[in-house]
Amino acid sequence: MAKLVIIDDEAAILELMSKLCRAAGHTVFGYTTGIEGMAAIRSQAPDLVIVDLRIGDVNGLDLVSMCRQQFPNTAVIMVTGHGSVETAVEAMRLGAFDYLTKPFDLGDLIKTVNQGLARNNPSSAESVAPAAVPSIRPSASSKLIGHSEAIQRIFEIVRRVSDNDSPLLLEGEFGVGKHIVARALHEASRRSSAPYKELQCSAMPEDTLEAELFGHTGGQGGVFSRANGGTVHLAEIHVLPLRIQAQLNTFMDAAQARRSAWNTSGTDFRLVVSTTICLEEASKKGSFREDLYYKLSVVPLKIPPLRQRREDIKPLVDHFLKELAERTDSKVKGIDSYSLEFLEKYPWPGNISELRNAIERACAFAEGDRIRPVDLPTKVSQQIEVPTTASVGGTTQLPIGSTLDNFITGQERAFIQETLKYNNGSREKTASMLGVSIATLYRKMGFNQERKTTA
């Protein structure tokens, strides 16, 4: 059993973290102010401290520095928001063991705590009851959802390669769920009890990114050492500068050499990388190192966009509705068939991320217990394709939700414009062909009353 001090000025988050750590077998002292937390650290000399970066009365970085100087055997975990990654890396330089980015996975909290305890005091980590961690509810973000042949094939690939330590390359558009596949791969593997670390390569400046990847003195503090035994997911790998690509290439060579020599003293991790571009094409153009590309693409996996697997929309909607009901007590339980038709016909350029946002918005506007077309975003509900009456076939889009007058006016103008083109811009010929007066033509098109013709 280890002694923990947790400092966070958000009472609900403090209570949640304290409850989870107590369930894992630790003694926990929780505080909402930095002054109280620092006093507790001095009096209790805890094995581990969890501190929010921004607490009202004390800078979290000052607390990290104080612990490093006065309690070198106390591991410190920094909790930070998405926009404060650079500051979190600064905390690593000051001696923090690791950091968690809000909103963090509950399982990651316990795993990171155990890793911190094991690093500084192995006996503390060993005292944790093994049954405590599985009681944590798994994150919904790691679930692969869908009925399509494409997503079923991804299920099978994840199952087959989960315990293969070869690097995995995920390619797909923004929002297709690459991070979900990476997380699912980790949780299906023998590494599931070890840390899972995701790093957005596009989210920080070059120097900060280099430090976050490879650490500082002797490589300590980098994402690979913090995920020892687990999985590292490098997202948007294609944005890495060529200089850092060279470092990663050398780092991977060294890691492979250690594995080949059966040297277990080095850092052990499974690498997953993801990108929104074709990495092979980038390597041919010279913007990405070709030798690094071949190292990273041992197991390539392309995730198709949502518009190519529309049969997955319904199960995804059901999942998001259930997730929202649990998280926000939403009363919306389902979606009517007409609304689902809109969702299945919309192209979803933002993929699963855009669909999730649309459902969350619809739940916020819904008056009953089911989503209706009026609850959906305008860009989704006002565009539906129907067969044309022309003999050549095809479809046309109807702006459902607009007024009849606006629709008719728009159709009139489009028809007049096409007739004008047919008559080489002659307004007189166009009016005659349409069977209206020239004055009516001018009024409907908003022309100046000067009567000019190009005939």
Q: What is the DSSP string of 152-191?
A: HHHHHHHHHHTT--S-EEEE--TTS-HHHHHHHHHHTSTT
Q: What is the pLDDT of residue 117?
A: 86
Same structural domain, 94 and 158: no
Dihedral sign (CA 128, 131, 132, 136): positive
Q: What is the pLDDT of residue 29?
A: 94
Same structural domain, 127 and 151: no
Domain boundary among 135, 150, 179: 135
Tokens describing residue 78: 């920094």
Tokens describing residue 380: 């989704």
Tokens describing residue 449: 């009353």
Q: What is the CATH classification number for the domain harbouring 344?
A: 1.10.8.60
On whether the CB atoms of residues 279 and 242 are closer than 8 A, the answer is no
E strand residue ranges, 287-375: 299-302, 334-335, 370-371
153, part of any domain: yes
Q: What is the pLDDT of residue 133?
A: 36
Query: What angle is formed at CA 361 by the lines to CA 359 and CA 365, rounded to 5 degrees?
Result: 115
Q: What is the CATH classification number for the domain harbouring 93?
A: 3.40.50.2300
Centroid of chain to Cα 448: 53
Which residue shows structure tokens 């693409």?
A: 297
Q: What is the CATH classification number for the domain harbouring 435?
A: 1.10.10
Same structural domain, 282 and 326: no
Same structural domain, 157 and 280: yes
Q: Angle at which helices 337-345 and 351-365 pack, to 10 degrees? A: 150
Q: DSSP 3-state assignment of 450?
A: coil
93, part of any domain: yes
Q: What is the pLDDT of residue 27?
A: 92
452, part of any domain: no
Same structural domain, 299 and 313: no
Same structural domain, 271 and 178: yes
On whether the CB atoms of residues 272 and 157 are closer than 8 A, the answer is no
390, part of any domain: no
Element holding 75 (H helix, E strand): strand 75-80
Which residue shows structure tokens 């050499």?
A: 257
Amino acid at 367: E
231, part of any domain: yes
Q: Which domain holds residue 277?
A: 140-304
Same structural domain, 366 and 312: yes
Q: What is the pLDDT of residue 141?
A: 42
451, part of any domain: no
Same structural domain, 205 and 326: no
Residue 174's φ and ψ, nearest 5 degrees, are -55, 135
15, part of any domain: yes
Of the candidates 316, 319, 294, the residue with the CA atom closest to the CA atom of residue 307: 316
**Is there a cis peptide before residue 300, judged by omega within 30 degrees of 0?**
no
186: how many CB neighbours lie within 10 A of its CB?
Answer: 25
Distance CA 186, CA 139 (A): 12
Same structural domain, 115 and 22: yes
Same structural domain, 110 and 218: no
Q: How would you class 288 by CB atoms within 10 Å of its CB: exposed for 0-12, middle for 13-18, buried for 19 or more?
A: buried
Q: How many domains does the chain have?
A: 4
Q: What is the pLDDT of residue 402?
A: 65
Same structural domain, 374 and 329: yes
249, part of any domain: yes
Q: What is the pLDDT of residue 135?
A: 32
Consecutive 10-residue averages of pLDDT for the chain (455 residues): 89 87 90 89 91 82 85 87 64 79 75 80 45 35 78 88 89 93 91 89 85 70 85 94 94 77 65 95 95 93 93 94 85 90 91 93 90 87 59 56 75 87 88 90 73 45
Domain boundary among 244, 279, 304: 304
Same structural domain, 147 and 230: yes
